[in-house]
Amino acid sequence: METYQRNSRNRQSVLLDELPLAMAYVPMQRWGNLYSPEEGFQRATIFRDLDFPFHGKGGCRR
Amino acid sequence: MRYQKKELLNYINVVSFAVVEANLYLDTHPNDEAAIEYFNNYQRARNQALREYANAFGPLNLDTAVINREFIWADQSWPWQLEG
CB distance A8–B33 less than 8 Å?
Answer: yes
What is the model's pLDDT at position A59?
62
* Residues of chain B found within 8 Å of residue A2, distances taken between Cβ atoms: 41
Q: Per-residue pLDDT tens for A5-42? A: 666 655 567 788 888 999 998 888 999 999 999 999 99
Quote ipTM for the complex. 0.83
Query: Does B20 contact chain A (CB < 8 Å)?
Result: no
Query: Does A26 contact chain B (CB < 8 Å)?
Result: no
Smallest CA–CA distance from A3 into chain B, residue = B38
What is the model's pLDDT at position B2?
53
The values of phi and psi at residue A47, to 5°, are -100, 110
Q: Give the residue-averaged pLDDT of A55-62.
A: 65
Judged against a pLDDT cut of 60, whether residue B11 lies above it is answered with yes
Q: Per-residue pLDDT tens for B13-34? A: 999 999 999 999 999 999 999 9
Q: Is the pTM of this model over 0.90?
A: no
Q: Per-residue pLDDT tens for B33-80? A: 999 999 999 999 999 999 999 998 889 999 998 888 888 788 888 888
Measured distance CA(B82)–CA(B84) in Å, rounded: 7
Write out the H or E segment, with its range, that includes residue B35. helix B33-57
